[in-house]
Amino acid sequence: MQKKTGRVGVLLIMLAVLVIASCVRAPSAEEAMPDLNAIKTQAVQTAVAQMTAAAKMLPTEEPTQEIPTLTPFPTLTPQSGSQGAPLATSSSQGGGGSSGTPIPTWTPVVYGCQVVDQIPLDGNQYTNNNIDVKWKLKNVGSATWQAGVYYWHWTGYDDLSLQHTYMLSQNVAPYETVWVSIDVNAPVNPGQYRTQWYLVNDNGENFCGFYYYVNVIPWPTPTP
């Protein structure tokens, strides 16, 4: 009796499994797993369509970009360094610089002289006395004083000489010296007198002035 009851129970269980299996419908071929590639393709096409529509709504002209104007750097003004040296051509203490003020160019003196000695010196002379006055002149110019061309002559103040012009007897190169002389006649009247003389160059120009100042005094009275 128990064996029969057990078989019946097994049959009932198997029947229940069949019924449940018949209720669960297997998915059809159409309802199988979705195609992932198709889904990706559809998504890309949709994105492209949206981008195309958005592009049509944008303006066709490109915006103009304003380019800023560059401000040039200020031009440096040359400055001169100490003792008149232009820093534009040389550096001082490792720094460079330049001069805005032009430096004057040194021009050599062409006709120049210097009185370096005189015999006799200015002073007292007796009335009506003849004096041979000499000056030692130095050529400090760049031109040579030419004999027979250069001369010295009386130019003013008191006329104390019978001869007013003397020719140069020798050439005088730059930085050489020469003695020139005149005959001075002290006036008969006591007083102070001055005579002025100048050299004349090959252009007929006066240069190198020199003078003699004399204080004329009477002769002493002879003692009886």
Mean pLDDT check: name the lowest of 20-24, 178-182, 188-192: 20-24
The domain segmentation of the chain, as residue ranges, is 113-217
Assign domain 113-217 to a CATH class. mainly beta
Report pLDDT digits (tens) over 66-75: 555 555 545 5
Cβ neighbour number for residue 201 with a 10 Å cutoff: 18
Q: In whole angstroms, what is the distance from residue 175 CA to residue 47 CA?
A: 104
Is 60 exceeded by the pLDDT of residue 221? Answer: yes
Is 50 exceeded by the pLDDT of residue 142? Answer: yes
The pLDDT assigned to 104 comes to 74
Nearest Cα residue to 184 out of 171, 193, 173: 193
The pLDDT assigned to 87 comes to 42
Report pLDDT digits (tens) over 91-101: 444 444 555 77
pTM: 0.53
pLDDT-based confidence at 83, cuts 50/70/90? very low
The pLDDT assigned to 60 comes to 54
Mean pLDDT check: name the lowest of 18-27, 74-83, 116-125, 167-176: 74-83
pLDDT-based confidence at 47, cuts 50/70/90? low
Q: In whole angstroms, what is the distance from residue 158 CA to residue 192 CA?
A: 10
Is 80 exceeded by the pLDDT of residue 159? Answer: yes
Residue 153: phi, psi to the nearest 5? -150, 160
